[in-house]
Amino acid sequence: MKNIFLLFAFIITLNIYSQKPVFKGQEPIEQVSTVSKPVQIQWKGIFPFENDSVYFSNDFEGARLNGIIKDYDSTYTALITSENTPINVSPWYAFKVWSKHKKQIYLTLTYGEGYKHRYYPKLSNDGLHWTSMDSTDYVEFEKGDKNFGPGSLPLKVQMKLSINPDTLWVSAQELQTSKHVKKWVEALSEKPFVSNQQIGLSREGRPLTALTIGKEKTARMLIVISRQHPPEVTGYLAMKAFVETISSNLKLAKKFRKKFTVYVVPLMNPDGVDNGYWRHNAGGIDLNRDWTFFNQPETLAVSEFIKEREKKTNGKFYFGIDFHSTWDDIYYTIADSFKGNMPGLVPEWLENVKMAIPGYNPNISPSDKMEPAIISRNYFYVSHGMEALVFEVGDNTNRDFLKKKGQTSAIELMKLMLSRL
């Protein structure tokens, strides 16, 4: 009876958090210049309103708050700007707020001409544990009438915040900076079959870390990457569940690690994440447009690492996956007509995931345009013959469900790849 109840509850969750009509995905990607260009350096510090005893701060990793003014009594307006332009509409914000005395304030978020509010606010009292803002404390203005994309967004929003001497953190998504990622990597690396190494440096000199799950000499390999775009936290959370499942004590996982080695680059863009950027790296470039020319150190480091692993093991990468976030859950796959190192793996895998999660119908968008590579998925296939895809998770996908998707996806992939040997 308990199992039936849990299944029923999970199906209800699927229905609540799935968006209809189905998201049709982005337009075909065109090659753009990936030569570095200037970015705006964000001023960091405290924005004090001494007469009200109210204080805002952006002085922490992952913060984005470019300016703030007082409008009326207990009413404020914040300005959030991007690192440079043109840029994808993904306005990241994150700040702290507190007051000397317990009170309520109203804060309006604005983004400058041509940009709108995208991410539903998350709140935290410690910067570690997050909850979504109560809908009664949140008002949208001039919301678009579309189901997805910029046309669905409000021009600005107002939040009601209950503040006191204890710090309240407000963020577009849960903060997962390089500090948080490092802690996760180190914890996972305590397992005897997991290690990590620095494979390069970001443009600002932050380490690019790769996890090795399994034996370094194994000739059958997979590559997992995440967080090319700083705000895409839901994709990162799904990646964590995926990788943790492969690294688990499941009998299946133990068997898989004897046959395959998985390499993971969990944070491709540490500069963008720690600087609170909307989209780009410190070179002012969308990293997922740089998989042809490799003008940026982050993409170059990963491509060189893949080639080094192939040379050292005299082996092949059979599968590559890049975790992202977008307007709703979708899988950007390669058209079935392209045959890589394990033909037909991805469509069969996604069909198995569909059968493994009751009521789930994966939204799949295949592409038959592989060259120029431009993005990671195409590079994985064109240059290394990998079966590859982009695994996109919705901005507002239920956190329990995205974890379930990550876990189930890992289990079904391990089963299928082992069956192909």
Instruction: Give the DSSP per-residue string, 149-217.
Output: SGGGS-SEEEEEEEE-SS-EEEESS----HHHHHHHHHHHTTSTTEEEEEEEE-TTSPEEEEEEES-TT
Where is the domain boundary, 145, 171, 197?
171
Based on the fold, state whether residues 231 and 129 are members of the same structural domain: no
Section 233-238 average pLDDT: 98
Based on the fold, state whether residues 220 and 354 are members of the same structural domain: yes
Based on the fold, state whether residues 208 and 244 are members of the same structural domain: yes
Residue 297's pLDDT band, with cuts at 50, 70 and 90, is very high
Per-residue model confidence (pLDDT) at position 20: 63
CB 97 within 8 A of CB 159: no
Contacts of 385 (CB under 8 A, 6+ apart): 316, 317, 340, 341
CB 283 within 8 A of CB 296: yes
Residue 341's pLDDT band, with cuts at 50, 70 and 90, is very high
Section 153-181 average pLDDT: 98
Structure tokens at 91: 């306005």
Backbone angles phi and psi of 193, in degrees to 5:
-105, 10
pLDDT at 10 over 80: no
Based on the fold, state whether residues 353 and 204 are members of the same structural domain: yes
N-term to C-term CA, the chain: 39
* Torsion of Cα atoms, 418 then 394 then 359 then 129, to 10°: 90
Based on the fold, state whether residues 126 and 201 are members of the same structural domain: no
Based on the fold, state whether residues 217 and 70 are members of the same structural domain: no
CATH number for 392 = 3.40.630.10
Residue 29 belongs to some domain of the structure: no
Would you report the helix, strand and coil content of the chain in percent, each value rounded to 5? Answer: 30, 25, 45
Grouping H, G, I as helix, E, B as strand and the rest as coil, residue 312 is helix
pLDDT at 223 over 80: yes
- Alpha carbon of 6 to those of 15, 47, 56, 158, 409: distances in Å? 14, 47, 42, 37, 20
Section 14-22 average pLDDT: 55
Structure tokens at 257: 């690690």
Where is the domain boundary, 115, 148, 171?
171
Based on the fold, state whether residues 132 and 273 are members of the same structural domain: no
pLDDT at 61 over 80: yes
Based on the fold, state whether residues 147 and 251 are members of the same structural domain: no
Task: Work out how many domains the chain is built from and give that number.
Answer: 2
Per cent of the chain over pLDDT 90 is 92
Sheet with 364-367, edge to edge strand ranges: 194-201, 207-213, 261-265, 220-226, 316-326, 387-394, 330-334, 364-367
pLDDT at 190 over 60: yes
Structure tokens at 103: 């009170």
Residue 28's pLDDT band, with cuts at 50, 70 and 90, is confident
pLDDT at 193 over 60: yes
Residue 69 belongs to some domain of the structure: yes
Per-residue model confidence (pLDDT) at position 112: 87
* Torsion of Cα atoms, 393 then 231 then 396 then 415, to 10°: 20
Section 39-63 average pLDDT: 97
Based on the fold, state whether residues 384 and 256 are members of the same structural domain: yes
Reading phi first (left if > 0) and then psi (alpha if -120 to 50, else beta), residue 45 is in left
Between residues 382 and 11, which one has the greater pLDDT?
Answer: 382
Structure tokens at 230: 């700083």
Residue 200 belongs to some domain of the structure: yes
CATH number for 131 = 2.60.40.3120
Sheet with 122-124, edge to edge strand ranges: 46-49, 54-57, 94-99, 168-171, 122-124, 131-132
Structure tokens at 122: 């998350």
- Alpha carbon of 348 to those of 60, 333, 380: distances in Å? 44, 12, 19
- Alpha carbon of 347 to those of 124, 350, 366: distances in Å? 39, 5, 10
Parent domain of 393: 178-419
Based on the fold, state whether residues 182 and 165 are members of the same structural domain: no
Name the residue type at position 174: E
CB 46 within 8 A of CB 57: yes
Tell me the pLDDT tens digit for each residue of 239-258.
Answer: 999 999 999 999 999 999 99
Residue 25 belongs to some domain of the structure: no
Based on the fold, state whether residues 81 and 123 are members of the same structural domain: yes
Any idea how long the chain is? 421
Residue 35 belongs to some domain of the structure: no
Residue 7 belongs to some domain of the structure: no
Where is the domain boundary, 134, 155, 171?
171
Based on the fold, state whether residues 158 and 193 are members of the same structural domain: no
Tell me the pLDDT tens digit for each residue of 107-138.
Answer: 999 998 899 999 999 999 999 999 999 999 99
Q: How far is it, in rounded angstroms, from Cα 64 to Cα 275?
A: 8
Residue 17 belongs to some domain of the structure: no
How do beta strands 316-326 and 261-265 pair? Answer: unpaired
Per-residue model confidence (pLDDT) at position 24: 87
Residue 3 belongs to some domain of the structure: no
CB count within 10 Å of CB 24 equals: 14
Say how far residue 63 (Cα) sits from the centre of its chain: 16
Residue 26's pLDDT band, with cuts at 50, 70 and 90, is confident
